[in-house]
Amino acid sequence: MPAEYLLGPTQFPAGLFANDRHAELSAVIFSNACSISKLNRVAISGGGAPEGYRYTRLGHFFDRTPGALRGIPFCLDITGDEYRGLWPHGYEPWTAEIEVFHNPFARHPVSFDLLPEAQHWFEENGEWLCRSVYETSILWSQTLITDANKPAPALQDHLIAEDRVHFEAD
């Protein structure tokens, strides 16, 4: 969506990559998952889960439907086949949730091969496109480690809590 300024009181100009003004900036590399939780999930999803605990990840998948404004909620057991099946490796890779925003005016473009498993955002024929190795991308999440003897967190409980937060914020 075209925008002249970013939202908020600062009126910061939008369009870092809208022209060649920032040609020395080749790309912006971002991750919303550089955390201790990520460190734990990679090992746990690969089969290294300590006994006696339940490992759950809940959050929102990126909805690739054109015009979608919200993600798709999920709540998955990190040790389960459904979770591990999100990635072709059979476990959560380190590169999941790395995003590369390519500057179409860069003097020295970043090769897609530098981070082959990252999600790449790039301009082609005047339109911003996304290319990803993984079918699903996670917008945001939280990782819960609970006692294995207690009930597993449920998506419905998460959705009720999320709706309460949105209602209180409105």
User: Which residue from 142, 118, 105 is spatially nearest to 24, judged by alpha carbons?
Assistant: 105
| pLDDT tens column, 46-90 | 999 999 999 999 999 999 888 888 899 999 999 999 999 999 989
What are the residue ranges spanned by the domains of the chain?
28-160
Angle at 137 between CA 13 and CA 82, to 5 degrees: 165
Average pLDDT of the chain, as a whole number:
88
- Taking a C-beta distance cutoff of 8 angstroms, is the pair 170, 163 a contact? no
**Dist CA 5 CA 33 (whole Å):** 27
* Stated pTM of the model: 0.79
Which phi and psi angles does 20 have, rounded to 5°? -85, 10
DSSP states along 153-166: P-HHHHHHHHHHHH
